[in-house]
Amino acid sequence: MNGKKILIVNNNMKIGGVQKSLLNLLKDLSRHNEVTLVLFADAGAYMDDIPSNVRIVSAGRLMRILGLSHKEAKRNGLKLCSYAFRILTKLIGFPLVLRFMLLFVKKIDGIYDVAVSYLQDSSKRKFYGGCNLYTIKKIKAEKYLTFIHSDYSKFGGAEKHNIKVISRFDNIALVSESCKKIFDNMVPHLSYKSMVVYNRVDSDDILSKANINSVKYDCSKIQLITVSRVTHEKGIDRLVEAFYEADRKIPDKMELHIVGDGKMFSTVNEMIIRYGLCDKVFMYGEQQNPYRYMKNADILVISSYHEAAPMVINEAYALNLKVLSTETSSAYEMIPENRGWVCENSKNGLSMALCDIAENFIKK
């Protein structure tokens, strides 16, 4: 795509897989196109990495609430609005709340060749998303494209009101062949609009950042790493339990490093202490440069209950890491036998796979 006027809508530029894939897409598109990025909140560690030739536009003060956590909204003088809209979402549902919010939001000036909504909506009772309807209602374009970064059968947003909104787009981008197949089976009347757009990975950037203060580990042990939000759907708690069980059976063979933050950070940290794993499992919190932690690791572990096409898998390949993943929608598609392992999507599956690795893995 060259010489086009493209506008992309997202909630924020915080650290996360969706935002990182968006950042890489912006780098690619802005080389030969006029690109505008509309953000609900101009917040996040990736803001400084946006190419200088990308025009950044705010969706408006009211929409900032959808790009910020409740705590952040309070700090930005939006405490009452944030509280009210979150309560209303539980009472009457997000679609009605969003339509009300949009009544007070201005349209974006200009006409674009392509308008892209980069973030899918979630369930009716969750105050999250809004990019799809905002893109349709507030932007004038020749073509409209929406992205779905999740397994459509499991992420919780495959509801009638969401399907009705995405049906108004000209094309629907899924991030893997497996995700497209799932979507087509669930929403067959929109299958003619679906297409695969793989996540971009900037290998040169990964290798460069990996060499900045690379973290050194104990070379005598197998070094496992997970780079993820520490939330329920990512299964970090069951990964710690699986590691504990594997270490009891085959002790002192492995260490586990957890890079990321989230609602379950304290819970997982308490588990590590309770299981007596403080000298084997380490938590680093959110890191803008996770690659310096990944470089000298051996295996990336993905313990999620469901995933679409995790960017971190290809990032691991760029650093010559093997990958162990639970069986999710795109796991077999993304992890051939020579690249790693796919295990049963359960704590026992993870534990058995870790035991096998502890016994048979040969360090590079």
Q: What CATH number does residue 238 fall under? A: 3.40.50.2000
Sheet order of strands, 254-259 included = 281-285, 254-259, 222-227, 299-302, 322-326, 340-343
Residue 363 domain flag = no
Task: Give residue 348's pLDDT.
Answer: 98
Spatial CB neighbours of 131, under 8 Å, sequence gap ≥ 6: 9, 10, 11, 40, 117, 118, 119, 120, 121, 146
Among 200, 231, 265, residue at a domain's last position: 200
Residue 256 domain flag = yes
Residue 345 domain flag = yes
CA atoms within 13 A on the CB side of 286: 15
Radius of gyration of the chain (CA): 21
Residues 246, 312, single domain; the answer is yes
Residues 210, 262, single domain; the answer is yes
Task: Give residue 76's pLDDT.
Answer: 86
- Read off the tokens for 138: 């507030």
Element (H, E) at 347: helix 347-360
Among 149, 182, 200, residue at a domain's last position: 200
Rounded CA-CA distance 146/121 in Å is 10
Domain count, the chain: 2
Residues 195, 283, single domain; the answer is no
Residues 193, 211, single domain; the answer is no
Residues 142, 27, single domain; the answer is yes
Rounded CA-CA distance 340/316 in Å is 11
Rounded CA-CA distance 120/116 in Å is 11
Residue 364 domain flag = no
Residue 317 domain flag = yes
Give me the domain span that covers residue 28: 5-200
Residues 189, 217, single domain; the answer is no
Report CA 231 to chain centroid distance, whole Å.
Answer: 12
Among 150, 184, 200, residue at a domain's last position: 200
Residue 60 domain flag = yes
Task: Give residue 126's pLDDT.
Answer: 93
Q: Which residues of the chain have pLDDT under 70?
A: 1
Alpha-carbon dihedral sign for residues 28, 30, 31, 32 = positive
Q: Among residues 138, 353, 133, which one has the least CA distance to residue 238?
A: 353
Rounded CA-CA distance 288/296 in Å is 17
Q: What are phi and psi of 149, to 5 degrees?
A: -100, 20
Alpha-carbon dihedral sign for residues 166, 171, 177, 180 = positive
Residues 351, 243, single domain; the answer is yes
Rounded CA-CA distance 310/314 in Å is 8
